[in-house]
Each structure stands twice: as C-alpha cells, then as structure tokens.
C-alpha cells in the first residue's frame, strides 16, 4: 500500500517507531499504522492510529516509561503544526492468537489520558471489546511499520464477535452526560456501526456518513452532516446549543441499529 503523508507525519511516525523499538526491545513484534492515515486520508483533527503487538506483558515500570515517552511525541488535536494526536494500542500476541472473546488490551495511549499520565496514573491491562473492531480494521487496511502484515499475524474476527462488540458499544452511551464533549465522534461512530451492521464490514467515518445521510430523515441528516463537516474541518459546531438534536439522533440511530442486530 502506497501512502501519501506529509513530511511532519512521516517524521512523527518514524520517531514513534524508534521510541517503541527503544522502549520495548526484543519484546516488540510488530507496529501497524491503520485508520484514517491509510484509509480515506487524514483530516484536520485525525489521530495517528498505531497498533503495537508485543510478545509478553509489560511490567509497571515499562508501562509507565512507555506512556511518559509517548506523551512527548503526541499533541492534542489541532494544538501543534508538527504533531498529531497519537492513539497507540498495545496487544500481547499470545492473548489474541488463538482468538477469544472478549479480547484484552495490554495498554492504550491517547490524548484523553494526558492529564492522568501527567499525574502518574496509568490504566492497567483490561478487557476491551473494541479490539475486535480494531483488528478487523487493521486486517482490512494497514501498513506494517515494523514486523509482518496484520492480515498474516492475526486471524479474522468472527462476525458474531463483531456484532457483540457493536451491541456493547451502544450500551456505553446512556445519558446526555455520556454524549457531552465528544458529540462529533459519537455521531460518526454511530454512522460507522450502522454501516457495518448493514454491510458486514468496516469503513471510515466520512464514508459511513456519506452512505447514511441520504437514508435519514431531514432533521437527523442535518445533525450528522454537521458532525461530518466539523470532522472534515469545513465548519465548527456549538454542540451544546444543539444537544437536543444530538440526543434525538442518538436515540433514533440506536433504535435502528439495535433492531438490525436483533433481527
């Protein structure tokens, strides 16, 4: 796969792989770039998504050192001209092959954890159903920055486990407070889940929104279009001012998706 990446992005990726190699040594098995960078193109606020596969679990000192080091290579979305936000997920190969559900992630780094990491608080390894989606995305479209191709390293995730992941994801958002602060991404994630439930595969946020928009009632289409425009950097939205519309879209989309999952 040929990538078209800016020089700053290439430099950031090189620095990230160098850091991972230094920090993990022989424990490092593979590093894969997936997500917007390889499928659909990076948008103004897109993260750089890295899947890191290791041979063995990390001890507390390794976990802390890696999280602190990644903090120096990442920047909050839109805060830097030379750095993008990194989202780094570390998986232990033997915990995923052979496949079992729910999967376990060894570590996850992201800008939403910056304050906690700065305070010396690090998430432990934990079950994470979203790994089923992540691995499906990486198998479908990713670039190996180190190690073998993802489609050769990991077996396909069974469709039943993907569907269970979608059901589990919908339960994460129950109240208005669950939606506040991440409205754009939640709206686009709902579009992606809806697309996946109908088509049985994974697609990008923009592509999912483009597919869903003509299938929605006008009021819900306007809400999703606002999220799409902001994601593309074409407009900004005062989500607090339109929270009732966000809640209406969420309830409608959740009901439609759940009906298809139960059918």
The tens digit of pLDDT for each residue in 173-229 reads 989 999 999 999 999 999 999 999 999 888 989 999 999 999 999 999 999 999 999
Rounded mean pLDDT, 8-28: 98
Residue with tokens 């670039």: 143
Rounded to whole angstroms, the Cα distance separating 34 from 12 reads: 15
pLDDT bucket at 143, cuts 50 / 70 / 90:
very high
Active site annotation includes 106? no
Residue 151, pLDDT > 70, answer yes
Q: What average pLDDT is seen over the chain?
A: 95
Rounded to whole angstroms, the Cα distance separating 9 from 4 reads: 10
DSSP state of 2: -
Tell me the per-residue pLDDT of 98-117, one tens digit each, with 9 for 90 and over: 999 999 999 999 999 999 99
Report helix, strand or coil for 48.
strand
Spatial CA neighbour of 110 closest among 125, 88, 92: 88
Instruction: Give the tokens for residue 65.
Output: 């050192």
pLDDT at position 263: 73
Q: Which of 87, 106, 183, 230 is catalytic?
A: 87
Cα separation values, 244 from 6, 118, 249, 253, Å: 39, 35, 9, 14
Cβ–Cβ < 8 Å for 212, 191: yes
Residue 59, pLDDT > 80, answer yes
Tell me the per-residue pLDDT of 76-102, one tens digit each, with 9 for 90 and over: 988 999 999 999 999 999 999 999 999
Rounded to whole angstroms, the Cα distance separating 87 from 70 reads: 9
Domain boundaries, the chain: 7-156, 161-262
pLDDT bucket at 1, cuts 50 / 70 / 90:
low
Residue 67, pLDDT > 90, answer yes
Q: Which CATH class is domain 7-156?
A: alpha beta
Q: What is the pTM of this model?
A: 0.90
Rounded mean pLDDT, 23-37: 97
CB neighbourhood size of 207 (10 A): 15
pLDDT bucket at 172, cuts 50 / 70 / 90:
confident
Cβ–Cβ < 8 Å for 35, 49: yes
Cα separation values, 174 from 62, 184, 239, 262, Å: 35, 16, 18, 19
pLDDT at position 180: 94
pLDDT at position 40: 82
User: Which long-range contacts (C-beta less than 8 Å, at least 24 apart) are formed by 252-255?
Assistant: 252/217, 252/220, 253/190, 253/191, 253/194, 253/220, 254/170, 254/173, 254/190
Residue % of the chain over a pLDDT of 70: 99
DSSP state of 116: H
CA dihedral 135, 247, 40, 260 (to 10 degrees): 60
pLDDT at position 2: 58
Report helix, strand or coil for 90.
strand
Rounded mean pLDDT, 23-30: 98
């Amino acid at each position: 796969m040929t990538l078209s990446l800016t020089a700053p992005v290439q430099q950031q990726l090189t620095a990230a792989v160098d850091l991972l190699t230094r920090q993990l040594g022989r424990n490092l098995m593979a590093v894969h770039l997936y997500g917007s960078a390889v499928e659909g193109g990076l948008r103004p606020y897109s993260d750089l998504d890295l899947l890191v596969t290791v041979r063995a679990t990390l001890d507390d000192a390794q976990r802390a050192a890696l999280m602190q080091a990644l903090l120096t290579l990442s920047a909050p979305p839109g805060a830097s001209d030379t750095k993008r936000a990194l989202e780094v997920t570390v998986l232990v190969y033997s915990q995923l092959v052979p496949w079992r559900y729910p999967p376990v992630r060894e570590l996850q780094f992201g800008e939403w954890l910056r304050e906690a990491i700065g305070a010396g608080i690090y998430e432990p390894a934990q079950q994470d159903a979203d790994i089923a989606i992540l691995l499906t995305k990486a198998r479908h479209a990713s670039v190996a920055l180190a190690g073998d191709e993802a489609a050769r390293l990991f077996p396909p995730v069974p469709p039943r486990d993907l569907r269970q992941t979608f059901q589990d994801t919908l339960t994460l958002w129950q109240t208005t407070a669950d939606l506040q602060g991440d409205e754009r991404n939640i709206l686009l994630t709902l579009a992606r889940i809806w697309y996946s439930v109908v088509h049985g595969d994974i697609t990008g946020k923009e592509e999912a929104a483009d597919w869903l928009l003509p299938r929605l009632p006008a009021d819900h289409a306007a809400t999703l279009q606002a999220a799409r425009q902001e994601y593309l950097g074409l407009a900004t939205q005062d989500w607090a001012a339109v929270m009732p519309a966000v809640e209406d879209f969420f309830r409608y989309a959740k009901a439609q998706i759940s009906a298809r999952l139960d059918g």
